[in-house]
Structure 1
Amino acid sequence: MKNDQIYAVVDIETTGTDPQTDRIIQFGCVLVKNGEIINRFATDVNPNKMIPKQIQNLTKITNARVQRAPYFEDIAPTLSNLLADTVFVAHNIYFDYQFLNHELLRCGMPKLTIPGIDTVELAQIFLPKEPSFRLMDLANRFGLTHENPHQADSDAEVTAMLLLYIESVMRSLPLVTMEQIARLASHMGMQTGTFIKKVTQEMRQLTTPLPEELMVVSGIALKRKTVPFFSYNLYEKNFPLKKRGKEKLFGDKLVFYKEQARLMNLVYRHFAPEVAPASDTPDKKPTQKDLLIEAATGMGKTIGYLLPLAYLATPEQPLVVSTASLLLQDQLLTQDVPKVNAVLPQPLVGTVIKGQRHYLDLARFQAKLTTAPQQKQYQLYQMATLVWLTQTTTGDFDELNLVSLKHPFFQDVCHRGLASLEKDSPFYAHDFLRFLSKRMKASNLLIVNHAFLARESLRKEPFLPQSRYLIIDEAHHLATSCEQAERQCVATGAFRKSMHQVTAEKGLFEQVAALFESQPQFLSHLGIYAQELQGLVENQEILLTALLEETTTSEEIVITQEQMMSLPLEAQKAKSKILLYYEEAAWLSRELRKASQNAELTMTTTEELLVTDFQEYLASVNEQGLMMKNWLTDWRQELVHFLVPDKNRLTGECQLLDLAAPLLPRTKWYPRYEKILYVGGTLKVSGNQHYISRRLGIPEAPLKVVPAPFDYGTQTQLLVPAEGPLINEQSPEEYDAYLIRTIEGLIRSVSRPILILFTAHDVLQKVYSALHKQFLVEGREILAQGMGGSREKLLRRFSRSKDSVLLGADSFWEGVDLPGEQLEVLVVTRLPFENPKRPLVAARNRYLEEQGLNPFSQVALPQAALRLRQAYGRLVRSPQDRGVMIVLDRRLVTSYYGHRLTKAFPKKVKAQECSIKQLEEKLSWLKKATDSEKNE
């Protein structure tokens, strides 16, 4: 801000969000000129109506406080004069600017016509790696003083500081980056783009050298990348198996725990067969390939396996660690590896590996800078990516926390694999996937997720190296990931949408046709191919109409051979045409690919990428054709054919599920690892030590259990309300009413964070709808899955609260790390059994019965016990934690199988029945335990 322009940074607080009925209760403004705050103005406003309780709780502005404040009519002229000839700035300007204008017009004043800048959009572009763009979160992140959040004077002050900070970030960027951003900024809100162009123009007047860590490649500024150097330490190669050696190694950096030490020894002896047998040697046979180790969550199991393997793994024989999620991958590298490296004589050099579509393709990104659609969100992502490229060395989209990878921008610019790269491209030497390959070769620790590992079986060439060392962390998830990777599917709705996109005016086919306009044979084949696609879509819809004729469910529908054979004649013909069209499309695809590859054309990079996209589309249709052929014709006993209907359209996912075992031995990656260790907090179920290993297809693998370092009997309680109804004897409406009534009472009796777990999303939503408004009025927030953000965002808000309630299902049953007082009360609304009436579950159960197995005892019961134990594991993550688990399903203590479920809990933890009143008394134990610890 190098001129005399004054920026009026404004924030208002209101009684609600509707300017027709709501009113302003506070106005705050900070004036900025030449990069400095020059003045401030703030006032409460009497809204002449009651302020809702939730607004009072949020803003701390009470009805009594505003009684003596001026009405907006009194201050409207002052505000109009104050803002005249300024540039209006706000965090989410659309709300403040429009609400203020409505109030000015109501008072007979002219509306604002001054230019405006939105700091939310500026933050989204110039702070692309931030996990949140809420004003409070940005203030905390950058150390901006924010004494009274949700009060206009404080919010305006911190917004002014944020504006100045973002401007400093803009001026620190290379001019070439700002030039590109300024060119894309025309679609931004109000005059935000004008502000960017103004700063860029001022930067042109200065000659600033490019920082050493940056370089410019074909007009794009990139951060320089260096491959880590792995240096071999010839000394202290032997891992210390004895306590004294470990304590010497740990020093004051790590604390010695005997349970963690035993885990370390088990891990080391499994992977280093030359070590002499000991009492806890996993198996006397040194050739044992698979070993399962159950180690309690919170005992430091990640460090427990990383540290001993650091003495064995090399870049030639790297340790490959597979964990359950992308989030856990990043946590392992950024949190656990540094702790281990703090004591190692030779540090682990780790690399996180994800699927290729998680990485940016620089050539594609550059091509889209000039050919992309003129759409605001698309261009916001482009501008943010230009900034991010000056910061990233990985090109991993997950560094951009608040993005949707399903957005067309990321679909357009994501990587298609090393084979898709052009060696003569200026970006070839700087490609992120090539750099990932280089880093992998210099690393002795490679971190993947289960989905990536499972998909190794689908790749023509394996991406991961062969090695002696593989660790499967959170191993109970592996079977599901492998099954999902093997599951074949065609989404007919997505197929129809893509067909319309590629054949539309100015679509992919029209662009390719223009490129090959001199080849009539190519154009002829392309025209026929488009007709084949249209025929496929039409006949798929005819077939689905017949299959879904009497369906009202949105769940999957199992399709039998008898059903397929008894379809009406029109549907039978459609089925035959589908097979024929896919066969003809495959022949045309070969001809088109051959012609596009052999064409002697001089093409630009953009045109080459266009041809690559075209060939990829042809290949994807061929893959779908093979799957549909299997789905329509392969009726082996172990295959389940099912449809997942689309709620809104007559479309569905045609899927095949193979129930045959064994699971791991039929994968391509399993034989490539000499030794495999499976680690998890819950690997044995109800005394069944082989449930996980049998499901994985390795029934002979031994299981070792490392005792937990916690006293579960004194640290936790497991409670069941004595007067709760039997779920089996209640209607869904009665059950919902019971849940709402009971949960409301629990929330009122506990002024602590509460996590409530559901087995069905519709029940969760009913409870949320019934309770969240009344508790919000009372100043207590109820968060719910599917309402208000991602899982990580909800957990972050929950962990920062003193008394929030979080309603969750699915993934919230596990992987929730909330130590100490962040989670002391856990409620399970229903035993987590799969619905046996669900078609896919019923089909699997029929198959198991045909194999002579009992589906309930062999699958349903162990799975429910596993989920209960995983949920319970959220409560205790350290020796200091205390927690209560309340199960609102009395089948835990009344059913014939309840004792098998309670065996999932630690031995000292017994289910206690108690009345609701006694339940409240039991919960007071938490406060007494906490107070007692604080007084020690």
Structure 2
Amino acid sequence: MKTIGNRYVVVDLEATSTGSKAKIIQVGIVVIEDGKIVDHYTTDVNPHEPLDSHIKELTGLTDKRLAQAPDFSQVARKIFDLVEDGIFVAHNVQFDANLLAEHLFFEGYELRTPRVDTVELAQVFFPTLVKYNLSFLCRELGISLKHAHTALADAQATAELLLLLREKMSQLPKGLLEHLLSLSDALLYESYLVIEEIFQNQSLIESSDLLEVQGIYFKRPPAHLKSRKLSQDFSKNISLLDLELRETQETFAVEVDSLLENERVSLIQAPTGIGKTYGYLLPALSKVDQHQIVLSVPTKILQNQIMEQEGNRLKEVFHIDIHSLKGPQNYLKLDAFYQSLQRKDENRLFSRFKMQLLVWLTETETGDFDEIGQLYRYQHFLKDLRHDGYLSSHSLFESEDFWKRSQEKAKACKVVLTNHAYLVTRLEDDPDFVADCLLIIDEVQKILLTLENLLRQTYDLQYILDLIDSALLEEQTKVQQRILESIRFECIYLIEQFQSGKPRKNILDSLSNLQQYFSEIRVEGLGELTRFFTSDCDYWLELHDGSQNKVQISSSKSGRILLSSLLPESCQLLGVSATLEISKRVSLSTLLGYPEARFVKIDANRKQDQELVLIKDFPSITETSLEDYANEIVALLLDIHQLQQPIMVLFTAKDLLLSVSDKLPVSHLAQYKNGDVHQLKKRFEKGEQQILLGATSFWEGVDFSTHPFVIQVVPRLPFQNPQEPLTKKINLELSQEGKNPFYDYQLPMAIIRLKQALGRSMRREHQRALTLILDSRMVGKRYAKQIITSLSKEVTIKTCARSELNKVIQDFFKGL
């Protein structure tokens, strides 16, 4: 065997299957020497067996064409000569190398070349990407791949990917490459050889863009740019952003400008899809005497979305200093990461994750974990790496600490972008956070639930059991021992009752017993638990993050926190949403604690490119079991999936979503199973799958702007759970005021949520969206008329039978 240098032989095989009995049907080889592509080779191979339809469709090969191809024995010598003295490279090298080695072995050739996997190298050196299949990488990195699943085309694309990886490595400091090599046992096969080659040829000259601290390399903070003055003319600012002015957007901006000029507290309602973010930010930024602007949005995913789109564009054009601020757990704690680097981990995945983080730190300005493309793969390791909000005076990274840096930047920048959860938590501790600021709250109605969360406290029942067991070992008093044993019994009983779905009364009785026992306990170390169980609260049980094993007990204190009680007088407040009107008898401004707030409404134009379809004969959700209803949804999805349009299904309950996902036999993306909401949105928008099953944030916190067509499916009307603490509290308030909680609050809130869902997929001109409501209550209940009347002001509503649905959908898309 010849000496191996930096000669890479990139191979791609097409085969009859991916199983152990696969036969090669096509070979593509590209040779790289001294960083350049120097040779190509390709051949079809006769497998002497018919291809199945899937392989024919995937590769474009036919039985007739392969019947005329050479046997593998006829080309084996040529292939072996090409690969034997090089480093074998493939995208998912295990499959290609093992299959080729097996075929060569039977022809008398032994393939012992080192192997390099470009999948793992791409994961390490492009850590922010959400997928690593070849087609996706080519699209993201600008590599041409016109004939995917053709062996030579795939080999050529993989070769160009390898060259890009080498180029990326060559831009990194030699010290960093050495650090990566020390962790490279985590890589499959001999993939480290590529890093080693670049390391050996790398100079010791360090990049001026990077800063080295304790062997870790960081991107230097960008130089501060002086903000450019915005015009008082909204249309001119929009033009400078290279955007098209929309009439409704301009009307909205003029109203915002007037409210900011004349009102301390105001609310403005405007339809979706008009560009509200620019509509309120540009007037606010154009006021030269304006103090800092704090913008709060309901979810982190919307926060990321605004930062990536409007935030970055305002930075580019106007040099506006915008900073995205989140809670400390969103950021990497450098001291913890440094300590992890000092340990040799047996876990290969964790070591590879460390390699990714070392590369990512040369690129990130924020240290925000949300930037990492496949973060969901590493959740198990994150608990020790997340920031806790505490920075030791002995920290090795005091100047580089991302959480500290984020806090400092938030004080100095023009616009702070945050989310409702962080905002209210911060305001509870530090009302001066928004003193002398303009606070803009987007989707301001969502702040009600966020405020309610301040009154909540949660304990894991197993955690309580562990504390009680520890206390029992120490306690000497017989009476207190008996109380501890009673608490222990009730906790075990609650877990068993809740997991087995027993009647709610059993659970309430047991919770009442726990409250009584904790009022009698006098054991050291249980003070926090005693206060939890003896407060004036409502208590309930729930599963922790959907786990069937972790049962937790939550409480909510009586009463509500009003937004007005948290904001200082010096804070100017603008609340924005597409859905602020609740009902004639219930005002959002009153629920927020500002009954005198000025309210402005901009009417929505009827959407010509959107329709709402009610399925009149779908099974009743209140009379059908969860399993049967899930089966019906699956059958409908399979039916409309044939139309080859993107489908987003909006659920109100996690159990129904997961049941549908488990039963759905076609590839899809599902919340709670396939990563966080931010990643699911990106993957759906890039067309990875045509079906997305979502809940929670997908109702109001995610915008879909890339798909020209979307079908939305709503299996159940989004009524609030009457047992949910905030709903119970507001219902009680309204009843005491002589109002009807259902018709004056719960029904209007369901309509609001439906309107928000309709706005998710109508974010730009000429988008087309069809929303299907499966809940038969829309055609059978008295209150349905109120929902239809409200929605029909904005979209065309049709009713059809289940059997007519495909025709209705086809007619909609044909007619536009």
- TM category, shorter: 0.7 to 0.9
Match of 1:756 among 639, 645, 649: 649
Indicate if the aligned counterparts of 2:751 and 2:787 stay in contact, CA closer than 8 A. Answer: yes
Task: Work out the number of aligned pairs and report it.
Answer: 805
With over 3 angstroms needed to count, the CA separation of the structure-2 counterparts of 1:575 and 1:177, relative to structure 1, is farther
**Following superposition of structure 1 onto structure 2, how do residues 217-232 of structure 1 map, counting pairs within 5 Å?**
217-226=213-222, 228=224, 230=226
Give the drift of 1:899.
1.4
Q: Deviations over 1:28-64 (max 9, x none)?
A: 2222222122222333344455544444444444455
**In structure 1, C-alpha distance between the alignment counterparts of 2:718 and 2:207, rounded to whole Å:** 56
Cα distance, 1:499–1:472 mapped onto 2, change above 3 Å: farther
Summarize deviations over 1:578-626 as a string: whole Å, max 9, x none. Answer: x72524xxxxxxxxxxxxxxxxxxxxxxxxxxxxxxxxxxxxxxxxx62
Q: Is residue 277 of structure 2 the alignment partner of residue 302 of structure 1?
A: yes
Correspondent of 1:657 among 556, 559, 572: 556
Shift of 1:66: 3.7
Q: Distance in 2 between matches of 1:192 and 1:336?
A: 40
User: For 1:401 and 1:230, how far apart are their aligned partners in 2?
Assistant: 32
**Correspondence for 1:156:** 155
| Superposition TM-score, scaled by structure 2 size | 0.86
Q: For 1:4 and 1:753, how far apart are their aligned partners in 2?
A: 48
Please give the alpha-carbon distance, in whole angstroms, between the structure 2 residues aligned to 1:928 and 1:745: 18
CA contact 2:28–2:42 (8 Å) conserved in 1: yes
- Structure 2 residue 369 is matched with structure 1 residue 472: no
Q: Which moved more, 1:638-647 or 1:331-340?
A: 638-647
**2:392 maps to 1:421:** yes
The 10-residue stretch of structure 1 (126-135 or 331-340) with the greater mean CA deviation from structure 2? 331-340
Structure 1 pair 764/222, CA: closer, same or farther in 2 (3 Å)?
A: closer
Kindly indicate whether residue 614 of structure 2 is the aligned counterpart of residue 711 of structure 1. no
Distance in 1 of aligned mates of 2:236 and 2:518: 74
Match of 1:548 among 495, 501, 504: 495
Q: What CA RMSD, in Å, does the superposition of the two structures yield over aligned residues?
A: 4.2
Matches within 5 A, 1:365-404: 365-371=337-343, 373-404=345-376
* Whole-Å separation in 1 of the counterparts to 2:62 and 2:672: 32
Q: Which amino acid aligns with 2:523?
A: L
**1:647-687 CA-partner distances (Å, limit 9, x unpaired):** 87864222112352243245x4x2365221111222224x4
Which residue of structure 2 aligns with residue 28 of structure 1?
28
SS at match of 1:298: coil
The one-letter code matched in structure 2 to 1:905 is L
Question: Is the contact between residue 720 and residue 746 of structure 2 (CA under 8 Å) also seen in structure 1?
Answer: yes
Partner Cα separation in structure 1 for residue 153 and residue 796 of structure 2: 51
Q: CA deviation at 1:454?
A: 2.1
- Aligned residues of 2:434 and 2:568 also touching (Cα < 8 A): no
Change (3 A) 1:671 1:741: same
1:350 aligned partner: 322
Cα offset, 1:863, TM superposition: 3.3
* Aligned twin of 2:573: 676
User: 1:924–1:415: structure 2 CA closer, same or farther, 3 Å change rule?
Assistant: closer
Match of 2:788 among 883, 902, 906: 902
CA displacement, residues 64-123 of structure 1 (integer Å, 9 cap, x when unaligned): 544444555665565455432332212222333344455566x47676433211212212
Structure 1 length-normalised TM = 0.76
Q: In the alignment, is residue 262 of structure 1 matched against residue 148 of structure 2?
A: no
Structure 1 residues 755, 160: closer, same or farther in 2, change over 3 A? same
Matches within 5 A, 1:130-149: 130-149=129-148
Instruction: Measure, in 1, the Cα distance between the counterparts of 2:675 and 2:549.
Output: 29
Of the three residues 580, 601, 608, the one matched with 2:523 is 580
Residue matched to 1:831: 717
Q: Equivalent residue for 2:403?
A: 433
Change (3 A) 1:104 1:664: farther
Matching residue of 1:456:
426
Could you say what secondary structure the match of 1:168 adopts?
helix
Deviation digits for residues 166-225 of structure 1, max 9, x if unmatched?
11221221112112212222232211234423432332xx4x422222232333332222
> Match of 2:187?
188
Pick aligned residue for 1:630 from 531, 534, 539: 531
Q: Decide which moves more: 133-142 or 190-199.
A: 190-199
8 A Cα contact 1:554 1:645, kept in partner: no
Equivalent residue, structure 2, for 1:115: 114
Q: SS at the partner of 1:420?
A: coil
One-letter identity of the residue aligned with 1:657: S
The 2-side partners of 1:330 and 1:5 are apart by 41
Specify the SS of the correspondent of 2:533.
helix
1:743-796 per-residue CA deviation (whole Å, 9 max, x = no partner) reads 444344x343333333445544555565544xxxxxxx6554455555444444
SS of 2:525's equivalent in the other structure is helix
Please state if 1:818 is matched with 2:704. yes
Is the 1:491–1:652 contact (alpha carbons within 8 Å) kept by the matching residues of 2?
Answer: yes
- Cα deviation for residue 870 of structure 1 reads 1.6
Q: Give the Å deviation of 1:893.
A: 2.4
Judged with a 3 Å threshold, the aligned counterparts in structure 2 of structure 1 residues 725 and 127 are, in CA distance, closer, same or farther, namely closer
Partner of residue 488 from structure 1, selected from 431, 442, 457: 457
Compared CA separation, residues 458 and 14, structure 1 to 2 (3 A): farther
SS in 2 for 1:429: coil
Q: Distance in 2 between matches of 1:262 and 1:187?
A: 57
Structure 1 counterpart of 2:510, which letter?
Q
Written as runs of structure 1 = structure 2, the 5 A alignment for 1:58-69 is: 58-69=58-69
The 8 Å contact of residues 518 and 533 in structure 2, kept in 1 or not, is answered as: no
Deviation at 1:821, TM superposition (A): 5.5
Q: 1:545 to 1:730 in 2, by over 3 A?
A: closer
8 A Cα contact 2:650 2:715, kept in partner: yes
C-alpha spacing 1:783/1:703, structure 2 compared with 1 (3 Å):
same
Unpaired segments ≥5 residues, structure 2: 476-481
Between 330-339 and 464-473, report the one with greater CA deviation: 330-339
- 2:256 and 2:808 map into 1 onto residues whose CA distance is 40
